Amino acid sequence: MHTQDETTSVSDPDNEPENGALTPEELAKEWAAEAPESSGPIANLLACLAVLGLAIAGMFISAGLGLGTPQTPNAGTWPFIVCVIIAVMALVQMIVGRKGENGGEKFSKLSWYSLVGFVTLLLLIALMPIIGFEIPSLLLCFVWMRWLGGERWRSATLYSVIVVVAFYLIFIVALGTNIPRLF
Amino acid sequence: MDFFGPVADGFSTVLDPTNLLYCLVGVVIGMLVGILPGLGPAATIAILLPLTYGIEPVTAIIMLAGIFYGAQYGGTITSVLLRLPGEASSVVTVFDGYVMARQGRAGTALGIAAIGSFAGATIAILGLTFLAPLVANFALDFGPPEYAALALLGILLVATISGSSKTKAIIAAAVGLLLATIGRDVFTGAERFTFGNLSMADGIDFAPLAMGLFGIGEILYNLEERHRSAAMPAAVKRVWPSRSDIKQASPAIGRGSVMGFLLGILPGGGATISSLVSYAVEKKVAKDPSRFGRGAIEGVAGPETANNAAATSSFIPLLTLGIPANGTMAIIFGALLIQGITPGPQLINENPELFWGVVNSMYIGNVLLLLMSIPLVGIFIRILRIRAAILAPITVLITMLGAYTIRNSIFDVFLVVMFGAVGYLMKKFGFEPGPLVLAFVLGGLLESNLRRSLLVLEGDLGGFMGRPISATLLVVFVVVALWPVIKSGIMRRRANSTLVPPLSEKEKV
Amino acid sequence: MSIIVGYLPSKEGQAAVHAGIREAKLRGEKLLIVNSVRLGSLVDKAVASPEDLEEVSKLANEAGIESTILESEYRDDFTEEFLRLADEQDVSLIVIGLRQRTQVGKFIMGSHAQRILLQANHPVLAVKAEQN
């Protein structure tokens, strides 16, 4: 795995403050500089549109369930009201957040790691009922340690085996749960 | 005020060996979680929900509560030793605590934080002991309209007070309400939003939702995290503050306890806000404010006391009214539901051993914290050296396998992963998961109370205003909801408004 | 031209710095002190605190050597990162400290010293910790 985003900083120890301590304002600035970038206006718009779409779909389905009246509320009344609130707030957020400042972070190259992690979890679910939890867990641990975590393959293998054995001992032997297993 | 009977019973419950053990486990796990970056108490409590299925309700809540206030203290350790706040409530401790550590006074800082935390929690527990029965008794007269208004207000407060974007929080809360409607409608029997799927007919289970949103979501998010390691901290030498230190810090501790207690009760308030407020107050009342940021012991004592007091008092709305004060309390609410207990004003009377057992466990838990905090520091630092690459798959497997054990259902695990993706996306787009979970747990109760209110009031919505309590609550609701609009109106009228850039904080639920 | 030293706050790291200073004096070159740390954990023994780095700088200054300190991070492979820096700065000599490792330790953890010796494009000076 190639090193990514390596950062090198040249530090001049004579210039750093005595105690290595910074004032609260400087600390805050340092943290703000290290914090991930904001996701920007497009992300805000996309998120709001997605939510709006969800809310409108919800409104249609709730209407289908029957809206009733204030005197006799029906199954669809409450969900409809909630969906209306969601839709309205989504529109508000579209306007309020059009400059894209608050909240959210940009997707970076590292976000692919999260996607890979997600896929490994789905694979675990798919394989577990068929071949038990031991092998899928072993593979998941290995992938997470070796590729998502950057361990060397020898240590990744060793630690993966230790972890799966430990889980076997705890979940199967000690607690006696019914997790699908091979051994 | 005849409660000494139940209180004493509560103590005997706590001193039961099983409960003591789970209290210890909870506090240690809590401290560990507070120290480790990436996992917060909310995520941990969610991940450990499957554990609560097989044990008594009292025992379960004792452990979960221990995790919560243990984590407040754990975050202090990294703040002081590494200049890295483990929890959002320990951010202000960095300013003076780390400086103290550099001056060789790490032990003093940690010690005064432990003492302050203990004092704050004790005051809060005393307040809880006296206040809770009063509130619960008052709330026993609540009818469906009052409860509906209260739930609405609680959700709104949590959505608006904490976090940055109010609109996004309200959206999250509303989505939570919507998710709560999935399944069979209690009143009419109609199936809502199930799309023909049998597993959805009973609605979404709380545990997979919480585990996914908080647990897996956080883990997936942390896969992106990159931070430079800190150097090994110097060994902590003298581990106890001197008598003069304690004397100097006492007023700060006193003020912090009261502030923390009051701010913790308010839904949406909580440990983070109380620590910030306490620091600001201490700086204001100090005779020499320039000491702050240079190792002023009050800068550690005040906030640490306040955040623990707040963590403890935030149990009050949950245990007396059944309204969670923040996201973590919502998860504990869910844990109670799993045990078949519906929190509300009737809890004190119908399950006194639960209520007093939990309250008294907080005394014991805080004593344990005080005893163990300093000796365990060395071990905790060693644990911190374990790379995230190793901890991540372990946490993931605990969550996945644990989710399976709830009902031996792979569909539950699937739900966990799906909600994990949702939680990750929410974080990336700036939505907070706390309001969603809060609204989810209250959603069912809110809807049924609203519908019952409409039946009682015979469809007349104005009837809400006719009843004094619900009217007051609704007025407060409207004020809080419109507050941003009111505030900007006031700001525009001010001639000179100097805008000071706010202090940025690390947000971690 | 400069000499690059791989520094850790340990006996071996100290020995490497001393050797680096001696060589720099002999050759009349600059010293590049690198503290490269692995990302992933909150605390790491390999991280040099600001005081460590200050002390090392002082040592170099007292010997009349011009020194620069580089703090870098890497995800998985120290050797790759270190050699990359060496190539980038086009050094004339690499100085590293050697640590005693058992056979099993070397197998599981791998030996960075071994890999640096074998893969480097520049001469390598490997020193052991000073016996005091």
What is the SS3 string spanning B272-299? HHHHHHHHHHHHHHCCCHHHCCCCCCHH
Angle at the Cα of B496 (from B492 to B497), degrees rounded to 5?
65
Chain B closest-CA separation from residue A78 CA (Å): 7
- B230 with C38: Cβ contact below 8 A: no
pTM: 0.84
- Dihedral of the CA atoms B299, B305, B309, B311 (nearest 10)? 70
Chain A closest-CA separation from residue B349 CA (Å): 32
Chain B closest-CA separation from residue C49 CA (Å): 5
Beta bridge partners of C5: C33, C95
**Which residues from chain C sit within 8 angstroms of residue A16, using beta carbons?**
50
In chain C, which among 54-113 make CB contacts under 8 A with chain B? 73
Beta bridge partners of B192: B183
| pLDDT tens-place string over residues A114-158 | 999 999 999 999 999 999 899 999 999 999 988 887 777 888 899
Beta bridge partners of C94: C4, C124
**Which DSSP symbol is given to B364?**
H
Predicted confidence at residue A136, as pLDDT, reads: 93
- C40 at the B interface (CB within 8 A)? yes
**Which DSSP symbol is given to B2?**
-
Q: How many CB atoms lie within 10 A of CB B2?
A: 6
- A144 with B95: Cβ contact below 8 A: no
Taking CA atoms, what residue in B is nearest to C50? B231
> Which of C49, C76, C108 lies nearest to residue A3, judging by beta carbons?
C76
**Which residues from chain A sit within 8 angstroms of residue B208, using beta carbons?**
none
| pLDDT tens-place string over residues C50-99 | 888 888 899 888 888 888 888 888 877 788 888 988 888 888 999 998 87
The tokens of A51 are what? 């939510």
Q: Decide if C71 contacts A8 (C-beta within 8 A).
A: yes
- B182 at the A interface (CB within 8 A)? no
User: Could you tell me how many CB contacts below 8 A there are between chain B and chain C?
Assistant: 58
Helix (H) / strand (E) containing B202: none
- C39 with B227: Cβ contact below 8 A: yes
Predicted confidence at residue B3, as pLDDT, reads: 56
> Which of B103, B167, B506 lies nearest to residue A93, judging by beta carbons?
B167
> Which of B78, B233, B386 lies nearest to residue C41, judging by beta carbons?
B386
Chain C closest-CA separation from residue B388 CA (Å): 5
Residue A65 — very low, low, confident or very high, per pLDDT cuts 50/70/90? confident
* Rounded Cα gap, residues B393 and A120, in angstroms: 11
Predicted confidence at residue B46, as pLDDT, reads: 92
Share of chain A above pLDDT 70, in %: 81
Helix (H) / strand (E) containing C37: strand C30-38
Chains that touch C (3 or more CB pairs under 8 A): A, B
> Which contacts (CB < 8 Å, 24+ apart) does range A24-30 have?
A24/B95, A24/B293, A24/B503, A25/B503, A27/B83, A27/B94, A27/B95, A28/B503, A28/B504
Q: Bigger pLDDT: A150 or A160? A: A160
**Which residues from chain B sit within 8 angstroms of residue A16, using beta carbons?**
none
- B393 with A79: Cβ contact below 8 A: no
**Which residues from chain C sit within 8 angstroms of residue B226, using beta carbons?**
39, 73
Q: Decide if B300 contacts B113 (C-beta within 8 A).
A: yes
Predicted confidence at residue A26, as pLDDT, reads: 72
* Rounded Cα gap, residues C93 and C78, in angstroms: 18
Mutate to test the interface with A, among B192, B291, B432, B485 (most CBs of A within 10 A): B192
Mutate to test the interface with B, among A118, A123, A131, A161 (most CBs of B within 10 A): A118
| pLDDT tens-place string over residues A73-102 | 777 888 888 999 999 989 988 887 777 666
**Which DSSP symbol is given to A68?**
B
Predicted confidence at residue B108, as pLDDT, reads: 87
- A118 at the B interface (CB within 8 A)? yes
- B36 with C52: Cβ contact below 8 A: no
**Which DSSP symbol is given to A73?**
B
> Which of A9, A13, A152 lies nearest to residue C57, judging by beta carbons?
A13
| DSSP string for B387-403 | -HHHHHHHHHHHHHHHH
**Which residues from chain B sit within 8 angstroms of residue A99, using beta carbons?**
none
- A31 with B417: Cβ contact below 8 A: no
Mutate to test the interface with C, among A10, A11, A34, A146 (most CBs of C within 10 A): A11
The tokens of B395 are what? 């946490």
Helix (H) / strand (E) containing C86: helix C78-89
The 3-state DSSP class for residue B323 equals coil
* Rounded Cα gap, residues A141 and C114, in angstroms: 28
* Rounded Cα gap, residues B95 and B83, in angstroms: 8
Residue positions counted in chain C = 132
- A8 with C85: Cβ contact below 8 A: yes
Q: Decide if A168 contacts A179 (C-beta within 8 A).
A: no
Which one-letter amino acid corresponds to residue C50? Answer: P
- B421 at the A interface (CB within 8 A)? yes
Burial of residue B139 (number of CB atoms within 10 Å: 0-12, 13-18, 19+): buried
Q: Are strands C124-128 and B191-192 parallel, antiparallel or unpaired?
A: unpaired
The closest of B247, B240, B202, B199 to B414, measured between CA atoms, is: B199
* Rounded Cα gap, residues B122 and B111, in angstroms: 16
Chain B closest-CA separation from residue A179 CA (Å): 7
State ipTM: 0.85
Average pLDDT over residues A10-38: 59
Residue B416: which residues within 8 A CB-CB, separation 6 or more? B208, B211, B212, B215, B216, B399, B400, B403
The tokens of B238 are what? 């003298």
Question: Running along chain B, 509 residues long, what does each successive block of 10 average in pLDDT?
Answer: 64 82 92 84 91 88 90 86 82 88 86 89 88 84 84 85 78 92 82 79 88 92 75 68 86 92 85 89 87 86 92 89 88 90 85 85 86 81 82 92 90 94 90 90 87 78 76 83 74 58 42
> Which of A85, A111, A177 lies nearest to residue B174, judging by beta carbons?
A85
Predicted confidence at residue C36, as pLDDT, reads: 84
> Which of B36, B226, B229 lies nearest to residue C44, judging by beta carbons?
B229
- C43 with B385: Cβ contact below 8 A: yes
Burial of residue A116 (number of CB atoms within 10 Å: 0-12, 13-18, 19+): middle
Q: Bigger pLDDT: B416 or A38? A: B416
For chain A, the domains span 36-107, 108-183
State chain A's mean pLDDT as an integer: 79
Taking CA atoms, what residue in C is nearest to A7? C72
Residue A16 — very low, low, confident or very high, per pLDDT cuts 50/70/90? very low
Rg (CA), chain B: 22
- B227 with C52: Cβ contact below 8 A: no
* Rounded Cα gap, residues B151 and B147, in angstroms: 6
Chain A closest-CA separation from residue C51 CA (Å): 8
State how far Cα B23 lies from the chain centre. 17
In order of A46, A123, B420, B431, the CA distances from B425 in angstroms are 12, 20, 9, 8
